A and B are shown apart, each in its own frame.
With several copies, the nearest count.
Chain A
Amino acid sequence: MGSPPTTADEARALVEAFLARGDLPTEKTEFLRARFDAGLAWLHYPAGLGGLGASRALQPVADEAFAAAGTPDNEPRRIAVGLGMAAPTLLKHGTAEQRERYLRPLWTGEEVWCQLFSEPGAGSDLAGLACAASKDANGWVITGQKVWTSQAHYARWGILLARTDPDLPKHQGITFFVCDMRAPGVTVRPLRQLTGEAEFNEVFLDEVRLPDAARLGEVGDGWSVARTTLMNERVSIGGDALPREGGAIGLLARTWRDRPELRRPGLHDAVLRAWVRAEAVRLTGLRLRQQLAVGEPGPEGSAVKLAFAGLLQEITGLELELLAEAALRHDEWRQDRGPQPEFPLRTATHRYLRARGSSIEGGTSEILRTIIGERVLGLPAEPRADLAVAWRELPR
């Protein structure tokens, strides 16, 4: 590996050179391992860990070149938690051994990751978590309950927050671990949602033993490690760049366009308002992407997440109104846990119901407004009584 590519042409040339190698394996995992080893997995990662230390902006160039050549990908949707949250945290806070051990099979998709942060009693107030980790001669013993864990039922590893000192204020007594999902005491149960499906899980940890080597960062530093994870979650929630009418609005617009018998005068302006709003959110996302590309990451990410949640909820509700009689029916309340069809292929009722979660998951809209008010606009925080008190003493 030479010096990192600095232009799109250089990045493309590297991919072409790689693909022209005579010894490339054709089996999917083998191929992905080779791509990783060539530093063409995530170009902005360091050399030796799947990258070349290049600019983040070159990654899409490489991805497109691989896609154009028809090579297998690592199914990024299936391993989203690993790619978006575990990997940047491992990179920033992991030891050399941890990065070496985990990043390659994470990226190739051989090992799926899940996130063990939220608890029934700690949602918006994640730092109030109760899951306890106590130290003994052999390492750590973890007991607690986690919730809203997607992919837990096929994950190999979980990133886990646990409380190592309940006598410290809540942010200070937390430690970050990599949890072996095959360890004894780990129980994964499907969590059925209002859509009827179980996209997520509850995870019960009953005296699960982890070695001290499973700790990421120092004891008591878990909250600052977790901030890396959460910041990367918010960045990734922006989603893909979509063309006009690319999202839920496209479904609504097509229904209006293609089914004149459903049109009602009182809904026309509502559909147009939704179209305008969707286009505004889309352009905001596009502008955010352009800022990221020139290295000016603005706070617009939280604006997009907040606006997108409201938009999606409005559009899916409007879709029910437009469909009228047809929206009185659902397809099937019981679903297997296998891969589900993409959003556009579901019923309008499913979309409507599932969209209720968009203003809750990954930070409620209420929490986002507070974050925007305080971190972006510089408005003063509320008086807080929970910051200087031992976690044990907090009312809950």
Chain B
Amino acid sequence: MTGLLYSEVESALRAELRAMLRQHSDPPARIERADPVDVDLWRRLADMGLAGLLVPEELGGAGASPREAAVVLEELGRAVAPVPYLGCAVVAGTALLSCGEPDLLAGLAAGERPVALAVPFAGPPSGAWSPTVTAAGDRLTGSVRAVADAITAEILLVPAGAGLFAVEARRVRREQCTSLDETRRLCDLSFDGTPGRLLAEGADAETAVRDALLAGAALLASEQVGVAEWCLDTTVEHARGRYQFGRPIGSFQAVKHRLADVWVAVTQARAVARYAASAVAEKSEVEVAAALAQAHCSGVAVEAAEACVQLHGGIGMTWEHPAHLYLKRARSAALAYGAADVHRARLAELVDLPPA
């Protein structure tokens, strides 16, 4: 049976990463800057071998399993770290593995040439292949809106016509969006006869994109667990130390029981996210697991972030307190790769519970 626990290696990885993030990540300061992606932090992740976690060892990667990438995402979620890990290391990485692109994979693993898949962040895996870019030979024209983790990418993987193309990002017009989630800013891409290199065609291209988005949806659940966990821990801490009516507010049942409910929700989300990561690792039941993960964990992160704001009272409504970054991340992530109802509708097909 699928292991839902963390291995020792995974726990060690988590500890190391958490320590590094504590020292080097500061999203509240970062979002005040014009360049919101923390390139230094990305560099450090690459130096720890995490950019290439899924890349085979012979290409300079760690040849590790998606279960470990899920642990990385938990920690990055906990830190709302403004790095393009999900889009580059997981989604684009999975697409490249599917296409078999040793050079691009090696560049990704080294952290030197970040890659992003040029599809809308809100697009679900089930509708994966719906290019808004056309290809005339190797020249691409069209646009893609609201793409994640493409701002600092050097290479864009672009579904166009019937193929998947690699495009030099500097030749593409990238316009930053004012994103709800400032710790993962989106951008709009425009192609105007831009040259690309064909990576895969037809069914191969579709498979590459679908697998990439399924991995993204499945592992995003772990990021959502991390977001929820930070919200829970931070609110528990606050409830222990904040006194009103001569008592710590955490001694009131209204606060205590709501936090207990969040803890129960996080406990469940962890089991679901671990199941999803294992499914991707074992290439078994991936579609069900990814849909389940997004149908479930999206809401848990939102629930935890909303409880965090509420139970902090006024302070939770301020710009100064980081709670809002988690609320925006949670809400934004809940729409990423398809909203929860879209995943439930997909489950209805997969497990034979047809509409009325």
Q: List the interface of chain A (C-beta within 8 A of B).
A: 118, 120, 122-125, 128, 147-148, 191-194, 196, 253, 256-257, 260, 263-273, 275-277, 279-281, 283-284, 286-287, 290-291, 294, 296, 300, 303, 306-307, 313, 317, 320-321, 324-325, 327-333, 349, 352-353, 356-357, 359-361, 364-366, 368-370, 372-374, 376-386, 389, 394-396
| A266 B344 Cβ-Cβ under 8 A | yes
CA distance A276 to B245 in the complex (A): 37
| B320 A377 Cβ-Cβ under 8 A | no
CA distance A244 to B261 in the complex (A): 24
Hey, which chain A residues are within 8 Å of B263, CB to CB?
303, 372, 376-377
| A373 B256 Cβ-Cβ under 8 A | yes
CA distance A158 to B318 in the complex (A): 22
Query: Closest B-chain residue to A357, C-beta based?
Result: B317
| A378 B240 Cβ-Cβ under 8 A | yes
| A192 B320 Cβ-Cβ under 8 A | yes
Query: Closest A-chain residue to B124, C-beta based?
Result: A324
Q: Which of A118, A120, A303, A377 contacts B268 (CB 8 A)?
A: A303
Interface residues on B, range: 35 or more
| B313 A275 Cβ-Cβ under 8 A | no
Q: Which of B178, B250, B316, B355 contacts A329 (CB 8 A)?
A: B178
CA distance A352 to B292 in the complex (A): 26
| A380 B341 Cβ-Cβ under 8 A | no
Q: B329-356 interface mask toward A, CB cutoff 8 Å, 1 = contact, 0 = none? A: 0011011000111101101100111111
User: Does B23 belong to the interface (CB within 8 Å)?
Assistant: no
**What is the distance, in angstroms, from B22's C-beta to the closest C-beta of chain A?**
21
Query: Closest A-chain residue to B320, C-beta based?
Result: A192
| A369 B261 Cβ-Cβ under 8 A | yes
Q: List the interface of chain B (C-beta within 8 A of A).
A: 1, 3-5, 120-122, 145-146, 177-182, 186, 236, 239-240, 243-257, 259-261, 263-264, 267-272, 274-275, 292, 295-296, 302, 306, 309-310, 313-320, 323-324, 327-328, 331-332, 334-335, 339-342, 344-345, 347-348, 351-356
| A349 B347 Cβ-Cβ under 8 A | no
Residues of B contacting A: mostly: helix
| B256 A333 Cβ-Cβ under 8 A | no
Hey, which chain B residues are within 8 Å of A277, CB to CB?
296
What are 22 sample pairs from A and B whose C-beta atoms fall under 8 A apart?
A123-B244, A193-B317, A194-B319, A196-B319, A279-B292, A280-B296, A283-B275, A290-B3, A356-B327, A359-B310, A360-B314, A361-B314, A369-B254, A369-B256, A370-B254, A370-B256, A373-B257, A377-B256, A378-B240, A380-B250, A381-B251, A395-B246
Query: Closest A-chain residue to B274, C-beta based?
Result: A287
| B314 A395 Cβ-Cβ under 8 A | no
| B186 A328 Cβ-Cβ under 8 A | yes
Query: Closest B-chain residue to A323, C-beta based?
Result: B335
| B251 A383 Cβ-Cβ under 8 A | yes
**What is the distance, in angstroms, from A64's C-beta to the closest C-beta of chain B?**
14
| A353 B327 Cβ-Cβ under 8 A | yes
| A284 B255 Cβ-Cβ under 8 A | no
